[in-house]
């Protein structure tokens, strides 16, 4: 049986058949113009991954890669039912929420001498130990903690069996191809298989596999084993924050019926038609924004600080969403509880 459509093909197909989510061409252009002003700055540059984020590793070595692998293996579902009651992790004098609470907990564990980024440790780590490592400063635990425990054991065992316990060996097997690495990760590690159905077709988003490739490229600073010649083939990562910021910026719209559902905080299940439309149209929207931005750069002869691709646009828009949380309060994000994003 042939595989699912690629994320890019899936997104195009979904956008062409979507009933409740719509891309706004004028909004796409407005976002591209917003980004045009940033193309020569640090935010739309590979170096921003380290320069702008104090919890990310500084190094570009095997240990840093294994840090990225654990972080992206657990990089899912941080949202809480009530925003005022959520998991928080204090680390080195700062308090972190959401994805950053995961990174803070990993760094806190390493500081405490717990080798949480070593496969030989997390392949057999117990649920009690995982609950301690990812403990919250509030009475709200990190969501899906049992799933995180199961996935750590499963992933650690496979990394030991197939890649001598180091993600560097997985990267080296992909021979500097982003696509080969993405597919090797999806084939080897079940929790990365972000695949579902839409209108009778098998589609893929591979959100965590794609962000793992992107973070590998970033942590290795695009050099050596991380010099992916095809990094531009990686699309944005279909999570629950990007749709929210794209609606906020006017590039994406929801039908009245869907917006009402989201405003009520109704759950959508992984693979539901509307959930797939939100993820697919967001992905396609970012592809259109990237095309428009590259046209504007060409037309205006703008100097860029390196190649502009969907990975960098995604990172920028995700950071923008974190920095504009207050302004975006009125825009709902979809509530899906799953291990894929």
Q: Supply the residues annotated as catalytic.
A: 239
Interacting residue with ligand 56B among 4, 23, 32, 49 (CB under 6 A): 49
183 lines the binding site for ligand 56B (CB under 6 A): no
For the record, the structure tokens of 37 come out as 């002003």
Among 174, 198, 215, 312, binds ligand 56B (CB under 6 A): 215
Decide if residue 217 touches ligand 56B (CB under 6 A): no
Query: Cβ(31)–Cβ(269) under 8 Å?
Result: no
Asked whether position 242 contacts ligand 56B by CB under 6 A, the answer is yes
DSSP letter string, 1-68? ---PPPHHHHHHHHHHH-SSEEE-HHHHHHHHHHHHTTTTSSTTSTTHHHHT-TTS-S--SHHHHHHH
User: 204: which 2 tokens?
Assistant: 């893929």
Q: Does 315 bind ligand 56B (CB under 6 A)?
A: yes
Q: Of residues 237, 284, 316, 320, which one binds ligand 56B by CB under 6 A?
A: 237
Select the span of 15-23, 76-84, 178-186, 269-277 touching ligand 56B (CB under 6 A). Answer: 76-84
State the residue for tokens 């294994």: 66
Which lies closer to ligand 56B via its Cβ, residue 295 or residue 306? 306
Kindly state the number of chain residues that form the binding site for ligand 56B, as judged by CB under 6 A: 22
Q: What is the rounded distance in angstroms from the CA atom of residue 253 to the CA atom of residue 256?
A: 9
If the CB atoms of residues 43 and 302 are measured against ligand 56B, the closer one turns out to be 43
Task: Work out whether 167 is an interface residue with ligand 56B (CB under 6 A).
Answer: no
Q: Which of 30, 34, 43, 98 binds ligand 56B (CB under 6 A)?
A: 98
- CA nearest 315: which of 106, 49, 47, 96? 49
Options 11, 35, 36, 56; binder of ligand 56B; rule CB under 6 A:
56
Looking at 29, 241, 261, 335, which residue binds ligand 56B (CB under 6 A)?
A: 241
CA trace torsion 307, 70, 119, 6 (10° rounding): -60
Residue 61's φ and ψ, nearest 5 degrees, are -110, -170
Pick one of 13, 22, 79, 121: the residue that binds ligand 56B (CB under 6 A).
79
Q: At what angle do helices 310-323 and 273-300 cross, to 10 degrees?
A: 110
163 forms part of the interface with ligand 56B (CB under 6 A): no
Structure tokens that stand for 236 in this block: 């944005």
Pick 241 or 261: Cβ nearer ligand 56B: 241
Query: Of 240 and 254, which CB lies nearer to ligand 56B in the complex structure?
Result: 240
What is the number of the residue whose Cβ is closest to ligand 56B?
98
CB of 92 to ligand 56B, least distance (A): 17
Q: Considering beta carbons, is residue 163 or 341 the nearer one to ligand 56B? A: 341
Q: For the chain, where are the alpha helices, taking DSSP H only?
A: 7-17, 25-36, 48-51, 62-73, 98-111, 119-122, 127-133, 145-163, 167-173, 178-188, 207-219, 241-248, 256-263, 273-300, 310-323
Site residues (vs ligand 56B, CB under 6 A): 49, 53, 56, 75-76, 78-79, 98-99, 211, 215, 236-237, 239-242, 314-315, 318, 322, 341
């Amino acid at each position: 049986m042939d595989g699912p459509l690629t994320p890019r093909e899936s997104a195009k197909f979904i956008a062409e058949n979507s009933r409740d989510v719509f891309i706004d061409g004028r909004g796409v252009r407005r976002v591209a113009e917003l980004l045009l002003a940033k193309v020569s700055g640090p935010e739309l540059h590979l170096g921003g991954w380290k320069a702008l984020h104090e919890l990310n590793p500084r190094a570009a070595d095997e240990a840093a890669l294994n840090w990225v692998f654990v972080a992206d293996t657990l990089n899912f579902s941080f949202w809480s039912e009530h925003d005022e009651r959520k998991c928080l992790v204090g680390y080195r004098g700062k308090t972190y929420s959401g994805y950053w609470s995961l990174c803070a907990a990993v760094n806190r564990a390493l500081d405490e001498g717990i080798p949480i980024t070593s496969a030989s440790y997390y392949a057999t780590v117990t649920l009690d130990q995982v609950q301690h490592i990812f403990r919250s400063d509030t009475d709200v635990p990190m969501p899906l903690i049992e799933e995180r425990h199961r996935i750590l054991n499963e992933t650690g065992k496979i990394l030991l069996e197939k890649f001598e316990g180091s993600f560097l060996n997985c990267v080296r097997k992909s021979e500097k191809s982003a696509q080969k690495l993405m597919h090797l990760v999806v084939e080897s590690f079940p929790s990365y298989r972000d695949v579902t159905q839409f209108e009778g077709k098998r589609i893929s988003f591979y959100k965590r596999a794609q962000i793992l490739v992107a973070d590998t490229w970033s942590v290795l600073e695009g050099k050596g084993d991380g010099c992916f010649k095809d990094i531009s083939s990686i699309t944005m990562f279909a999570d629950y924050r990007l749709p929210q910021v794209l609606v906020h910026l006017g590039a994406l719209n929801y039908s009245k019926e869907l917006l009402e559902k989201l405003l009520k905080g109704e759950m959508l299940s992984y693979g539901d038609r509307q959930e797939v439309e939100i993820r697919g149209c967001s992905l396609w929207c970012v592809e259109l924004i990237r095309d428009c931005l590259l046209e504007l750069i060409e037309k205006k002869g703008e100097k860029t600080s390196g190649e502009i691709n969907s990975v960098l646009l995604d990172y920028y828009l995700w950071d923008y969403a974190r920095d504009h949380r207050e302004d975006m309060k009125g825009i709902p994000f979809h509530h899906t509880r799953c291990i894929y994003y």
